[in-house]
């Protein structure tokens, strides 16, 4: 897999990576910038993957946690298919 490039969220100005979960292979938008405290995601850009770990310093968050319009995407049947088609 090619190294993922950041893209803008479709509804807010944040930048995200579209990464695949290391085990389930599910696609998720992960915030590009790590947070000092409270993040629980470790990313591997070389593999285009992310893993959920315990909370720690300088970890990432799923963008659905931080996006002010995330609720607009939940339950939208075409949202996941459209994102997977871009990969």
Q: Would you list the domain boundaries of the chain?
A: 7-86
Give the Cβ contact number of residue 84 at 10 Å.
12
76 contacts 23 by C-beta, under 8 angstroms: no
Predicted pLDDT of residue 39: 93
Predicted pLDDT of residue 82: 47
**Phi then psi dihedrals of residue 79, to 5 deg:** -65, -50
pLDDT in tens, 15-39: 999 999 999 999 999 999 999 999 9
More confident residue, 75 or 8: 8
The pair of three-digit structure tokens given for residue 31, joined into one six-digit string: 């915030």
Query: Is residue 87 predicted with pLDDT exceeding 70?
Result: no
pLDDT in tens, 34-84: 999 999 999 999 999 999 998 888 999 999 999 988 777 666 555 554 444
Q: How far apart are CA 78 and CA 72, in angstroms?
A: 12
């Amino acid at each position: 897999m090619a190294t993922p490039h950041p893209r803008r969220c479709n509804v807010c100005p944040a930048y995200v990576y579209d990464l695949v979960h290391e085990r389930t292979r599910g696609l998720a938008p992960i915030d590009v910038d790590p947070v000092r405290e409270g993040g629980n995601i470790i990313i591997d850009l070389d593999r285009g993957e992310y893993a959920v770990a315990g909370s720690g310093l300088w970890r990432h968050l799923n963008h659905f946690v931080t996006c002010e319009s995330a609720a607009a995407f939940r339950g939208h049947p075409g949202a996941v298919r459209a994102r997977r088609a871009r990969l």
